C-alpha cells in the first residue's frame, strides 16, 4: 500500500495539502520499517539520519530531495518506490560552518546506487562545489543497483567526475560505515580523507568469493578490506576507529582544522599556550648520538599548542609522521621523520604518505613544518625494484610545487638525497633552522671516510685506528653543526628550547606569503 492510498480522500484545501505533506515527510523520516531499523542496529550500525545527527550541529540539517523516488521498472522495482531512494542528502553546520553531506540508507535497497540515488548525490556535490564548503559522505551501500544496469554505473561515473573536479577546491571526507565494493570504492579513494570503523566497514574491488574463484585464496571480508587492513597495510584509510560515534566525532575535529575551501585559510583560535613558551625538555629528549632512537611524537607535543595534534595515517608508514596541529592558534601541517621506526628512513610508503599530505596542505593553505632526522632512503632490492626513485620523486615534486609557508628544522642528522627531498632550502623552503646537534652531509661520516680515505685505510698498519682518525677528521671538516649555516644553507642554528617561539614568529611573518606558479594547465607529477 502506498502513502497516497493511506490518505482517506483528496485534500480539499491548503490545510489538507499540508497534512498530506506531513504524512509523506513522516514516512520518509521513519524509513522503510521498524524491522529494517532494528536489523541495522543489530549489526552495530546507526541509521543514515542518526549518523547525520552526530555529524552536524543540533537542528542545523536541511534536507534536499527528501521525496525523490526512482522511476525504474522491471525486476519488481515498480512495486517498491520508497522516498529518498536510499540516500539522504543536504547541508548543515559543524561548529557553525556549512558542511554538505550525503548518507547511504542501508535499509533501502541495501544502500545500493541507482539513477535517482546517484542524481541526488550529484546535486549535493555540485552544491558543495558552488558554495565552497566541505563535503562529507557517510558510506554504507551495497554498490550499484543491479536491477538498473548501466544507469547505475553511469551514476558512479558522475560521482567520480565530481570528486575529481572538487579535488583541491573543497575538503572531501569519506566515512566508511558499511560495505563498499567494486567501482564504488574509487570515490573514497579520490577524496582527501578516508575514515573507517572496525568490523562493520570494508572496502575492496573484488570480494572474497571472487578472490577465491580466481586465485584459490580464502579470506574474510575484514581480512581482505577491513579497517585495520587499510589503516596499516594498504594505506587506503587515514583513520580507523572502534565505533561510529568516535569516528564521526573525529570527523568533526578534522573539519575544525580545515578551511571551507581553497580560497580561505584554516580557522584560527585563541591559544592559552604561550607562543614564546620555552621547552627545556627538548634538550634531553633528542639524544646527540645519531644512532640512538627517540619518539618524535614527544617532540611534536612540546612544539604545538597544548600538545594536541591529529595524526594522519598514524598506523601506515610509521617511519614518517604527518599531523595537523596548531601553533599560536594557527593550523599547521607537520611532516617529521620517526627515528623509532626504521631509524626514520624514507622508503616507498613513507614517500607516498608524506607527498599526499604535503599536497593536501598546499591545496588548503596550511603552512608546512618539516622536522628532519633522516639517515637517507632505505636501501634494498625490493625498494629499487618497487620504484623508490619515482615514489621518492613524488615527495620531492610535492614540496617543490607547494606555495604555502614552508619551514624546515633539522634536529639531528640529514643525509644525502633524503636531506634535499625533505624540504631543504635548495628546493624552496622559506626558512630553514637547525639545532646544534645537526649533521648535514652527503652520507654518514663512517661511510664517507670509507669512500674518501679507502686507500689510506687499506695501507695503514692499524686500519681501524686510521679509519677512526679519518672519520673524526671528516666530521670536523664537513659535518660540524655550523657548516651549513656558514654557507647560508641554514638560516639559523637555534636553542632547541626556543623552537616553539621561533616557529611561531616565523609563521606570523609568513602568514601573508604570496607565490605564483608558472602558467600551465597542470604539472605532470611522477606516478
Residue 119 and residue 161 in contact, taking contact as beta carbons nearer than 8 Å: no
Mean pLDDT, the chain, integer:
91
> What number of CA atoms fall less than 13 Å from residue 275's CA on the CB side?
15
Environment class of 157 (CB within 10 Å of its CB; exposed 0-12, middle 13-18, buried 19+): exposed
Helices (H), 43-76: 48-55
Report the alpha-carbon distance of residue 27 to residue 352 in Å, rounded.
47
* Contact criterion met (CB below 8 Å) for 423 and 398: no
CA 435, chain centre distance (Å):
30
178: cell is 558499511
Q: Could you report the per-residue pLDDT of 146-201, keeping only the tens digit for each?
A: 777 888 788 889 999 999 999 999 999 999 999 998 888 999 999 999 999 999 99
- Residue-wise pLDDT for 88-111, tens only, equals 999 999 999 999 999 999 998 888
| φ and ψ at residue 295, rounded to 5 degrees | -95, 110
Report pLDDT for 5. 44
Q: Is 417 a catalytic residue?
A: yes
Whether the pLDDT of residue 205 is over 70: the answer is yes
**Residue 465 catalytic?**
no
**Model pLDDT for residues 478-503, shown as the tens digit of each residue:** 677 888 888 888 999 999 999 999 99
Q: 182, 207, 386, 428: which is the annotated catalytic residue?
A: 182
Q: Which of 110, 149, 158, 183 is catalytic?
A: 183
Whose cell is 604535503? That residue is: 358
Say yes or no to pLDDT of 126 above 90: yes
Q: What gap in Å lies between CA 123 and CA 101, rounded to an integer?
A: 11
Contacts of 479 by beta carbon, 8 Å cutoff, 6+ apart: 439, 440, 441, 445
For the residues of 8-27, what is the DSSP string, one character each?
Answer: -S---SHHHHHHHHHHHHHH
182 is catalytic: yes
Say if residue 404's pLDDT is above 90. yes
Does the pLDDT at position 471 exceed 70?
Answer: yes
Report the predicted TM-score, pTM, of the whole model to 2 decimal places.
Answer: 0.91
Number of Cβ atoms within 10 Å of the Cβ of 42:
8
Distance, CA of 506 to CA of 389 (rounded, Å) = 33
What is the arithmetic mean of pLDDT over 446-459? 74
* Catalytic one of 231, 355, 418, 441: 418
Q: Looking at residues 26-51, what average pLDDT do you find?
A: 89
Q: Which listed residue (132, 417, 428, 447) is catalytic?
A: 417
When pLDDT is cut at 50, 70 and 90, the band that residue 1 belongs to is very low
- Give the CA dihedral 146, 151, 155, 160, nearest 10 degrees: 90
Alpha-carbon distances, residue 519 vs 78, 217, 229, 523 (angstroms): 53, 50, 41, 10
Amino acid at each position: 500500500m502506498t502513502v497516497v492510498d493511506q490518505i482517506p480522500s483528496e485534500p480539499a484545501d491548503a490545510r489538507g495539502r499540508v497534512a498530506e505533506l506531513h504524512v509523506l515527510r513522516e514516512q520518509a523520516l521513519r524509513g522503510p520499517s521498524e524491522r529494517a531499523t532494528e536489523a541495522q542496529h543489530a549489526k552495530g550500525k546507526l541509521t543514515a539520519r542518526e549518523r547525520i545527527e552526530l555529524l552536524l550541529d543540533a537542528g542545523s540539517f536541511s534536507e534536499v530531495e527528501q521525496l525523490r523516488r526512482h522511476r525504474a521498472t522491471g525486476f519488481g522495482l515498480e512495486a517498491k518506490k520508497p522516498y529518498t531512494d536510499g540516500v539522504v542528502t543536504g547541508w548543515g553546520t559543524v561548529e557553525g560552518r556549512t558542511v554538505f553531506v550525503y548518507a547511504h540508507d542501508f535499509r533501502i535497497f541495501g544502500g545500493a546506487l541507482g539513477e535517482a540515488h546517484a542524481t541526488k548525490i550529484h546535486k549535493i556535490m555540485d552544491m558543495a562545489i558552488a558554495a565552497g564548503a566541505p563535503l562529507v559522505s557517510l558510506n554504507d551501500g551495497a554498490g550499484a543497483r543491479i536491477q538498473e544496469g548501466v544507469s547505475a554505473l553511469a551514476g558512479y561515473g558522475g560521482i567520480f567526475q565530481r570528486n575529481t573536479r572538487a579535488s583541491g577546491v573543497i575538503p572531501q571526507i569519506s566515512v566508511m560505515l558499511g560495505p563498499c565494493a567494486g567501482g564504488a570504492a574509487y570515490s573514497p579513494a579520490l577524496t582527501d580523507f578516508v575514515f573507517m570503523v572496525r568490523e562493520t566497514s570494508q572496502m575492496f574491488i573484488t570480494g572474497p568469493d571472487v578472490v577465491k574463484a580466481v586465485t584459490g585464496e580464502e579470506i574474510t571480508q575484514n581480512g581482505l578490506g577491513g579497517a585495520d587492513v587499510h589503516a596499516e597495510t594498504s594505506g587506503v584509510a587515514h583513520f580507523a576507529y572502534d565505533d561510529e560515534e568516535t569516528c564521526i566525532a573525529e570527523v568533526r575535529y578534522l573539519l575544525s582544522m580545515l578551511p571551507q575551501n581553497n580560497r580561505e585559510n584554516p580557522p584560527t583560535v585563541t591559544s592559552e599556550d604561550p607562543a614564546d613558551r620555552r621547552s627545556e625538555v627538548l634538550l634531553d629528549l633528542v639524544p646527540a648520538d645519531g644512532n640512538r632512537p627517540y619518539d618524535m611524537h614527544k617532540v611534536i607535543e612540546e612544539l604545538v599548542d597544548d600538545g594536541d595534534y591529529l595524526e594522519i595515517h598514524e598506523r601506515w608508514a610509521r617511519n614518517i609522521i604527518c599531523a595537523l596541529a596548531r601553533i599560536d592558534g594557527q593550523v599547521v601541517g607537520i611532516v617529521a621523520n620517526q627515528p623509532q621506526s626504521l631509524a626514520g628512513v624514507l622508503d616507498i610508503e613513507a614517500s607516498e604518505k608524506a607527498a599526499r599530505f604535503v599536497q593536501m596542505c598546499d591545496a588548503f593553505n596550511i603552512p608546512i613544518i618539516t622536522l628532519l632526522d633522516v639517515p637517507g632512503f632505505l636501501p634494498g632490492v625490493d625498494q629499487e625494484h618497487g620504484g623508490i626513485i619515482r615514489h621518492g620523486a613524488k615527495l620531492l615534486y610535492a614540496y617543490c610545487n607547494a606555495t604555502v609557508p614552508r619551514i624546515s628544522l633539522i634536529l639531528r642528522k640529514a643525509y644525502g638525497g633524503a636531506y634535499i627531498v625533505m624540504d631543504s632550502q635548495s628546493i624552496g623552503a622559506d626558512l630553514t633552522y637547525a639545532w646544534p646537534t645537526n649533521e648535514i652531509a652527503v652520507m654518514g661520516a663512517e661511510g664517507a671516510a670509507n669512500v674518501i680515505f679507502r686507500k689510506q685505510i687499506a695501507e695503514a698498519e692499524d686500519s681501524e685506528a686510521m679509519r677512526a682518525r679519518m672519520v673524526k677528521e671528516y666530521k670536523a671538516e664537513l659535518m660540524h653543526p655550523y657548516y651549513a649555516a656558514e654557507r647560508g644553507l641554514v638560516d639559523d642554528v637555534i636553542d632547541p628550547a626556543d623552537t616553539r617561539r621561533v616557529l611561531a614568529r616565523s609563521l606570523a611573518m609568513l602568514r601573508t606569503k604570496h607565490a605564483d606558479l608558472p602558467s600551465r594547465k597542470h604539472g605532470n607529477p611522477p606516478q
